[in-house]
Amino acid sequence: MSCVRIYKTVPSILPHKTRVFKFHASGSHQHLKVSITMAVGKNKRISKGKKGGKKKAADPFAKKDWYDIKAPSVFQVKNVGKTLVSRTQGTKIASDGLKHRVFEVSLADLQGDEDNAFRKIRLRAEDVQGKNLLTNFWGMDFTTDKLRSLVRKWQTLIEAHVDVKTTDNYTLRMFCIGFTKRRANQVKRTCYAQSSQIRQIRRKMREQMVNQATSCDLKELVRKFIPEMIGKEIEKATCGIYPLQNVFIRKVKILKAPKFDLGKLMEVHGDYSEDVGTKVERPADETVVEGTPEIVGA
């Protein structure tokens, strides 16, 4: 029986190792047997596992705190809702992340009256007191469905806008909308106003908005927005030109606000007081009965 040995270098996955091939020829049929012996090496690609395994998912709310949103005192409901913010870490302060946040709330939730559900009030965070976030009025708008429901056929739509400045130096842009209506005992279906009448009505709208806004501060102006006092005054002022219906201050934008003053903010919130909890009456501590001490070894 003859034996032939062939040495061959193993590829780069097992450096400096060799394979040994042995060929054996035995018997008359010259069957060929091949036995392979290979030095055992460490294959890094096979045995290497993942470092650290699976990482535990961190709870995103573990490092956050809840703050109560407080509405100004002109609204009946003071607690608007809650908001999240990351806790103070190093130079990143939580109160800085809360200030100047703007929240959009339905007037129905602020007044507890579903008839005002078509108005959206914007409140901006001004200061943080404990776990309470004090806000101030920052604008107003109509819902889309209410605005679309007002526009109809056979009438004239009249719009006007003007920039006004309140007594406490807030600069606002007010948008007014109104529609013509049929006069009493009118047989004609349509109630279209002439171009000259539209210009006169638009001028009256601007005058009323300027007079109502420049004579009061922002807090009093918001009180006029809620029951739509300005719209009713415009209807009275324009009835001699052409009768109007559905006159609203549909949108208010604050263009410029004065420098922050904590005293004025506290006046806006009026009867605000920080929730510090109520005193709990605890029962008197039970007296401990002391027995006579036992003497060890007596």
Q: What is the pLDDT of residues 268-289, one digit of tens each?
A: 888 665 554 455 566 655 544 4
pLDDT at 296: 53
Note whether 214 and 97 are same-domain residues: yes
Which CA distances in Å does 4 have to 22, 25, 34, 157, 265?
6, 9, 10, 106, 99
Note whether 74 and 35 are same-domain residues: no
Cβ atoms 21, 8 nearer than 8 A: yes
C-alpha to C-alpha distance for 93 and 90, rounded to whole angstroms: 7
Residue 221 included in any domain? yes
Residue 251 included in any domain? yes
- Could you tell me the CATH number of the domain that includes residue 196? 3.30.479.30
| Both structure tokens of 169 | 């130096």
Q: Give the chain's domain count.
A: 2
Tokens 């039970």 sit on residue: 286
3-state SS class at 237: helix
Note whether 183 and 242 are same-domain residues: yes
Give me the residues paired with residue 37 across strands.
20
Note whether 107 and 171 are same-domain residues: yes
Note whether 35 and 80 are same-domain residues: no
With bands split at pLDDT 50, 70 and 90, how would you rate the model's confidence at 50?
Answer: low
Note whether 97 and 24 are same-domain residues: no
Residue with the bigger pLDDT between 207 and 88: it is: 207
Cβ atoms 82, 48 nearer than 8 A: no
Residue 178 included in any domain? yes
pLDDT at 240: 93
- Rg over CA atoms, the chain: 41
Note whether 143 and 258 are same-domain residues: yes
Note whether 32 and 70 are same-domain residues: no
* 126-138: average pLDDT: 93
Residue 88 above 70 pLDDT? yes
pLDDT tens sequence across 201-255 = 999 999 999 999 999 999 999 999 999 999 999 999 999 999 999 999 999 999 9
pLDDT at 57: 80
Residue 139 included in any domain? yes
Residue 58 included in any domain? no
Note whether 68 and 14 are same-domain residues: no
Residue among 257, 263, 277, 293 nearest 100 (CA): 257
Residue 59 included in any domain? no
- For the chain, give the mean pLDDT: 82
C-alpha to C-alpha distance for 37 and 137, rounded to whole angstroms: 85
Note whether 220 and 78 are same-domain residues: yes
Note whether 126 and 256 are same-domain residues: yes
Note whether 145 and 68 are same-domain residues: yes
Residue 171 included in any domain? yes
Q: How many CB atoms lie within 10 A of CB 238?
A: 23
CA 236 to chain CA mean position, Å? 39
C-alpha to C-alpha distance for 24 and 29, rounded to whole angstroms: 12
Residue 184 included in any domain? yes
Domain assignment of residue 12, given as a range: 2-39
pLDDT at 276: 46
pLDDT at 150: 95
State the pTM of this model. Answer: 0.70
